[in-house]
Amino acid sequence: MSDIFNSMVSGQDTVRNSILKSARELFAKFGYRKTTMEDIAQALRKGKSSLYYYFKNKEEIFQAVIELESELLERRLREVVGSEYSPRQKFHDYVIIRMETLRELENYQKAMRDETYGDYHFLDDVRERSEQAEQEMIRIVMEEGVSSGEFDIKNLRLAAIGISTALRGLELPLFRGIENFDDFRLQLDNILNIMFFGILKR
């Protein structure tokens, strides 16, 4: 679980990076509310004063973790959109990589869908930015598909909004109760077949 995050946490400040890595793992394992600053300090084998030098409180650490996970997801998806593959392959890869990455970003996916986090207003900004970025990326792929003759879409903006909304709605049932990776991929393939039937030019 840590490998996916390590690529995003870099720079000279190794103590701050270590705080984020340890906090991320504890939040994912025990939940944000049950994890304390003391827990994070103990995991680092440091005093709590080390944490407060870098972060005012636990919420600030949580915010940094969520924003980094959000950036990682977007970076991976933009790599797909910017690839040289066909629009159909890009769309396929986009959905697969999106869901597989979200499956690993436990804190981000929980924070985005759990209403008990409603008191943390920074999540509204993260959610809005991620939704807008996703709609933009999907629209780019759809536009390429229409231009190449692969897709038949009358309104690109509405199609991007619809697909983005559908993907978010599928997250919870997809993640719930599917532990086996092969089953996970099978369900993703089924979802892709349904989506492609609606946009492929026939």
Which domains, from first to last, does the chain contain? 3-199 (1.10.357.10)
pLDDT of residue 168: 87
pLDDT of residue 89: 93
pLDDT of residue 182: 72
Rounded to two decimals, the pTM is 0.84
pLDDT of residue 133: 97
Q: Helix H segments across 31-180?
A: 37-44, 48-54, 58-81, 87-104, 106-113, 122-148, 156-175
Residues 6+ apart with CB under 8 A from 45: none
Q: Distance between CA 176 and CA 171 in Å, rounded?
A: 8
pLDDT of residue 185: 73
Q: Which residues of the chain have pLDDT under 70?
A: 1-12, 118, 174, 177-181, 195-202
pLDDT of residue 1: 45
pLDDT of residue 178: 61
